[in-house]
Structure 1
Amino acid sequence: MTPPVFAHGNLRLYLLALLEEQPRHGYELIQALSDRFGGTYSPSAGTIYPRLAKLEEEGLVTKRTDGRKSVYEITDAGRAELESRRHELDAIEDDVTDSVRRLAEGVRAEVDSAMRTLRAELANAAREARKAASTEPATPQPTAESTRAMHEADLAITEFRQQLRLELRNQANRGRVNGDTVTLLRTRLADVRTEVLQELARS
């Protein structure tokens, strides 16, 4: 289903805009749309090809064969329609930018949450180590070492979060942050947390 950003006739207009940039295969149009939305929206072939056929019937695009693929090109009539509705296209682009920004904010929130959880686990482990050290006849060295390691771990987490947030923001502005990014992030952070806790349990 087409997302709300594409009101009636807007996807048709956006396809014309993509073909104005360069001739494309149907799959290339699907990929271009997915890229523009940072992976938050990827239309199906059943959504794209009927609209291309309608545009061809109306004389707004032409189709030629390139091997086994069909290449679509915008016509002068298509350019004229696009130019007459340029203000509508600008509004659609603004909505696309907002969509990508919302996704990037969601990813940053996931990073912050995961980092806070990991930091809390490390702090708790440090407290347990200090508690254990205080009840055993041992030298002060283990407590100092644990405190120093906790400080270094905290710095590493902060540096990681800052660098990743900056890179995510840059990539989101280019439309490169998508749902796969979030899935990968969650998986890898969960793996890191598990490995750290296992290492602490062995210590």
Structure 2
Amino acid sequence: MAAVFSHGDLRLYLLSLLDESPRHGYDLMQALSDRTGGTYTPSAGTVYPRLAKLEEEGLVTKTVEGRKTVYEITDAGRAEVAARAGELDGIQAGLADSVRLIADEVRGSVREAMRSLRADLAAAAKEERRSAPATPADDVRTRSREQLHRADAIVNGFRARVRADLRTHVARGGELSSAVIDELETALDDASGAIVRAIRG
């Protein structure tokens, strides 16, 4: 928690979430995970004691709706949120930095994977050209089909790794911005061009 929220910040942030709308406990935990890009997923043991403290201080009230307990901010709670708006701006900026760091890591991973793939393909093509003896056309086609299967395995493996990384990131509540996907598309276009150049020699 310390890596995302400083002392007392979580209490204030919970209050600000309730200032947006009444919420039940699980909704608050999910909102915290979403707002922090998956960098912080609080437990019930972290959230509920703070909600109880806010209720004790008269800043929130709770009502039971079926099997859910819904928390709602009071006028006193709204007054505290308004009075501490500057602190909330600082907290929001910190959370935005956390999300940007995750996006940067995703972009870096994609770039590194594409650089590695381009280097491997270029080296393989160069080695093939240097070491392949003169053979009949049928032997060339046979070797080419073997290398095509190898290329398929490399591309499919890369696709599976990137897809798994992206899905895991989103499943953990992380943000996946259009800029990240644009970066992925550009990197794949660059790799495609490098492959075509390597094939044509």
Instruction: State the TM-score, normalizing by the size of structure 1.
Output: 0.67
Tell me which residue corresponds to 2:48: 49
Question: Please, which runs of 5 or more residues in structure 2 have no aligned partner?
Answer: 156-161, 177-201
SS in 1 for 2:175: coil
Q: What letter matches 1:100 in structure 2?
A: V
Tell whether 2:183 aligns with 1:177.
no
In the TM superposition, residue 176 of structure 1 has moved relative to its aligned partner by: 3.8
Tell whether 2:87 aligns with 1:83.
no
More off after superposition, 3-12 vs 84-93: 3-12
SS in 1 for 2:63: strand
SS in 2 for 1:6: coil
RMSD over equivalenced CA pairs, Å: 3.1
Tell whether 2:134 aligns with 1:136.
yes
Tell me which residue corresponds to 1:73: 72
Tell me which residue corresponds to 1:3: 2
Alignment of 1:149-188 (within 5 A): 176-177=174-175
Identity of aligned residues (%): 61
Alignment of 1:98-137 (within 5 A): 98-133=97-132, 135-137=133-135
Count of aligned residue pairs for this structure pair:
156
More off after superposition, 110-119 vs 84-93: 110-119
- After TM superposition, the runs of 4+ consecutive aligned structure 1 residues lying more than 3 A away are none
In the TM superposition, residue 98 of structure 1 has moved relative to its aligned partner by: 0.5
| Residues in 1 aligned to 2:122 and 2:13: alpha-carbon distance in whole angstroms | 51
Question: Please, which runs of 5 or more residues in structure 1 have no aligned partner?
Answer: 158-163, 179-203
Q: What letter matches 2:33 in structure 1?
A: S
Tell me which residue corresponds to 1:184: none
In the TM superposition, residue 129 of structure 1 has moved relative to its aligned partner by: 2.2
| Residues in 2 aligned to 1:6 and 1:137: alpha-carbon distance in whole angstroms | 67
| Residues in 2 aligned to 1:43 and 1:21: alpha-carbon distance in whole angstroms | 19
Tell me which residue corresponds to 1:181: none
In the TM superposition, residue 114 of structure 1 has moved relative to its aligned partner by: 1.0
SS in 1 for 2:80: helix
* Conserved? CA contact 2:4–2:39, under 8 Å: no
